[in-house]
Amino acid sequence: MSSDSIHLVLDFDGTLTTSSTLSLIYNIGHRLNPSCPSWQSISQAYVDDFNSMKTTSMVKPTTLLQALQRLESLRAIEYRSIARVEATKVFRGVNIEILHAAAEKALRDAELEMRDGWQKLVGMVMKGEGKVGVVSVGWSGDFIRSCLHASLERVRAAEQDSDWDGRVNLPLIDVRANNIIGGDEGKMDRYWRAATSDDKSQILTAEDKLRVMKDIVDMDDVKGSRPLVVYVGDSTTDLECLLHADVGICLRDEAASMTWEQRELQEILDQAGIDCRWVGSMDGGDLEMRPLRSIDGGVYHSQTWWARDFDEICQSLLFRN
């Protein structure tokens, strides 16, 4: 199986980057509007809300169905968090130019780190005329695009002789995320142009990310008559995409330095009995006969993969001619 039959979809925070960007994005607005509440107070309000719900109604999931239900139950918490941020008007006056400059500065000052090798992976897929998408529950698609642009420019400057960087056509990377409108009110948009949390208007949960992934790549055709859909993620908000993609790859740091998001995802897969093997052990049969299985009333792939970095994915059977 070679890259000419691959459509690639990636998570952003923790996958393309090494950590969450929410605090960075919030502080972009806070620098413009310093009288607004600090990031610490906003994040503590989220933790308090989460702990309150956890105490009253959440139990540790022991099945895949329970895990998916728990993830979807977080929608109300995420929506209230967005509402709290909007109420502060912290993003008043924030525009694309400010976000772009902030992304460049964050990379330059090492406040933000992009994972090595993403450009090579994207370039290999684009060389084979495959689609590339990014799906995020984050707050700013414009910030994501700016990070990708700044990161690519830094690599191109350092590797003038690279034979893959010219294949990365940034405008063709389909970035789907919430966005900051800014203006006088400092609002964020509604991805599906709806008004309330009940009609699932923003990208907030694992279910939302799956809806977007299916919009980016056509997954309705029978496997074998369409490109192979590969999803790469690192946390529980990626769970639905990982289980519905033809090849779902969990990005994991070395065991001693795995993030809590990576560990939580690993725990859910283990409890659900979903096999997760190292991507370097993939063989032809895994791609041609990937098993579908009924789990807790839903049909999912019962095989996932893990990789330490993007280079391991590039060196896997997915890209071996």
Give residue-wise pLDDT tens across range 249-292.
Answer: 999 998 888 999 999 999 999 988 888 999 999 987 777 655 56
3-class DSSP state for residue 176? Answer: strand
Asked if residue 190 lies in contact with residue 202, where contact means CB atoms within 8 angstroms, the answer is: yes
Length of the chain: 321
Strand partners, 173: 132
This prediction's pTM: 0.91
Average pLDDT of the chain is 86
Closest CA to 12 of 170, 216, 238: 238
Report the C-alpha dihedral over residues 267, 273, 275, 276, rounded to 10 degrees. -10
The rounded distance, in Å, linking the Cα atoms of 16 and 10 is: 7
**Is residue 143 predicted with pLDDT exceeding 60?**
yes
Asked if residue 298 lies in contact with residue 65, where contact means CB atoms within 8 angstroms, the answer is: yes
Residue-level pLDDT at 1: 40
% of the chain exceeding 70 in pLDDT: 83
Residue-level pLDDT at 154: 82
Angle at 54 between CA 192 and CA 234, to 5 degrees: 55
Which residue would you say has higher pLDDT here, 161 or 109?
A: 109
Query: Range with the lowest mean pLDDT among 109-113, 169-173, 280-284, 296-300?
Result: 296-300
Residue-level pLDDT at 53: 76
The residue-averaged pLDDT of 292-304 equals 70
**Is residue 321 predicted with pLDDT exceeding 60?**
yes
The residue-averaged pLDDT of 10-29 equals 96
Residue-level pLDDT at 86: 94
Token duo for residue 48: 């308090």
Strand partners, 278: 306
Residue-level pLDDT at 74: 87
SS3 percent helix, strand, coil of the chain, rounded to 5, is 50, 15, 35
Residue-level pLDDT at 2: 42
Sheet with 6-10: strands ordered across: 173-176, 132-135, 6-10, 228-233, 247-251, 303-307, 275-278
Give residue-wise pLDDT tens across range 200-226.
Answer: 678 999 999 999 999 888 765 555 567
% of the chain exceeding 90 in pLDDT: 58
Q: How confident is the model at residue 150 (pLDDT cuts 50, 70, 90)?
A: very high
Q: What is the 3-state secondary structure (H, E, C) of 62-99?
A: CCHHHHHHHHHHCHHHHHHHHHHHHHHCCCCCCCHHHH
Q: How confident is the model at residue 164 (pLDDT cuts 50, 70, 90)?
A: low
